[in-house]
Amino acid sequence: MKGRFALAGSHIGVSIAAFAVASFMGVLQALSIADISFPRRDESLFYVSVTAHGVLMALVFTTYFIMGLGYALAEVNLGRVVGKAAAWFAFVMSLAGSVMAAVSILRGESTVLYTFYPPLQAKPSFYIGATLLVVASWIWGGVMLASYRSWRKENPGVPAPLAIHGMIATILIWYLATAGLAVEVVGMLIPWSLGWVATIDPLVARTFFWWFGHPLVYFWLLPAYVLWYTVLPKVAGGKLFSDSLGRMVFILFVLLSTPVGFHHQFVDPGISSGWKLAHTVLTYAVIYPSLVTAFTIVASLEVAGRMRGGTGLFGWIRKLPWGDPFFASIALAMIAFVFGGWGGAINAAYAMNGMIHNTAWIQGHFHVTVGTTVGLSFMGGTYWLLPRMTGRALRFRALAITQPYLWILGMALFSTSYHIAGIRGLPRRVYSASLNGEQGAQWHTLTVIAAVGAVVLLVSALCYVTVAVATWLGGKKGEAPAFEFAASLRPPVASMWDRYGLWTVVAIVLILLAYGYPIVHLLMQARYGSPPFRPF
């Protein structure tokens, strides 16, 4: 891809490639858990596929798509990307890092799962490769902020376009979250993997991981919200219900997304119940901006449906463009988020978490939220972006229309089965459900249904990749459709929600309050390191 969208297109191309590889890895796991035979099935391949699927899908596919979307939005909304040389340098750096980490995983040298908890130890190339990807994303954030500041000088007093406002919030969350990751990887994992230190403290490492791990969800989610707020109402034929509510929502995520990590460590020792409860309360607080989003987007769609002639209490829903691949992808992603949010509230509950901790419920929940709410939004975003960036018409449109419905069907089979199996006690990340003897019989039907769902998901994933590649390489050339964004029912006005410096300071203070004392307290206790552990 050439021209002003070359940078954005290069990132999105890498994201699609990672998605394709990760999709095959996903179906292998579901078949294995259900004891369905396939060539070369063994424990080693299973855990390689778990690691590769998690890293490539959750870290590489998402991060590259988000960076590509950011560059495209900056080109269109700000009319510039400042520092393209640095941006291309970061792209090459991230690509080198991603390849290093992927090769290490696929060779079976870094089977440490997506969470890379120590004492599971990977090769140094895995940690260093992942670090290069994160450092490159910091440079991406710097380029985006520099582009905004350049635009700001020419437009004093004018609020940033809502799409850019959302991307700035995404960048701020990323910087705040990856501070914890940097401490863990650079300060602990890399020296340990290189043999500079003999042992590692798993609990301290996990604490820094979850400083990063939960806000990572919002790093994925906010770019999806950008598409929901700024593109979806326009494609639906209506207007955004409220620009101001959107600005508030993005800033609330900056404030509340990071100081919540202890709800992932309810069963960990060394962290007092009081601090775990405090993080639980903050976790429930972060549900509020998603509820506001649900109200705002549904109201916007009702406006669109009624502008299309819909009447009655629900008649406007039928008038929405369900045959548009972008609209269908986003609308189905939003419906999935209703169920994902419900499950997330259970995960965060201090008492109920004990029922589903480290069970198959978690993989069911993760695939509804990240795998569908985020993933399907990004697939829909690809259908919207590619014709506009390449000037090529979408190929195999019927396939593109069918793909999101196939995805939601496959995910319903896959995720519902694992939710139920998790409640019945099926452990998470097991090579075979039958390893538990007679108890495994109660899970067998559910794991087979989940495997069928995984196959449907793979078919849907192949449809997405086929449409994207065919459009890129062979779509009919013509005049590129315009990048059009939803107008708000009321014009946007500058407000306190545009004061990014102020909210960043408040967010840092909240993080220090939530993590400062617990981490110091942990470090003051007697610490016992662990040697590395490599099962394969």
Q: Could you give the angle at the alpha carbon of 299 between the alpha carbons of 294 and 300, nearest 5°? A: 100
Does residue 365 carry a catalytic annotation? Answer: yes
Does residue 214 carry a catalytic annotation? Answer: yes
Among 367, 392, 395, 419, the active-site one is 367
Among 11, 53, 165, 214, the active-site one is 214
Question: Nearest-CA neighbor of 233 among 220, 251, 245, 221?
Answer: 245
The residues, ordered by sequence, that sit 6+ positions from 499 with a Cβ below 8 Å of its Cβ are none
Does residue 366 carry a catalytic annotation? Answer: yes
Between the CA atoms of 489, 490, 494 and 499, what dihedral angle is there, to the nearest 10 degrees?
Answer: -40
Question: Nearest-CA neighbor of 448 among 37, 167, 151?
Answer: 37
Among 218, 262, 418, 500, the active-site one is 218
Among 388, 429, 444, 534, the active-site one is 429
For residue 477, give the 3-state DSSP assignment: strand
Please give the structure tokens belonging to residue 154.
């020419």
DSSP H helices, 369-484, are 375-390, 397-423, 441-474
Among 366, 378, 383, 414, the active-site one is 366
Please give the structure tokens belonging to residue 461.
């994933």
Report the 10 Å Cβ neighbour count for 337. 24
Q: Could you give the angle at the alpha carbon of 432 between the alpha carbons of 431 and 434, nearest 5°? A: 155
Query: Residue 533 carries which DSSP code?
Result: B
Question: Nearest-CA neighbor of 236 among 292, 293, 307, 338?
Answer: 307
Among 428, 444, 483, 534, the active-site one is 428
Residue 171 contacts residue 257 (beta carbons within 8 Å) = no
Task: Please list the active-site residues.
Answer: 214, 218, 365-367, 428-429
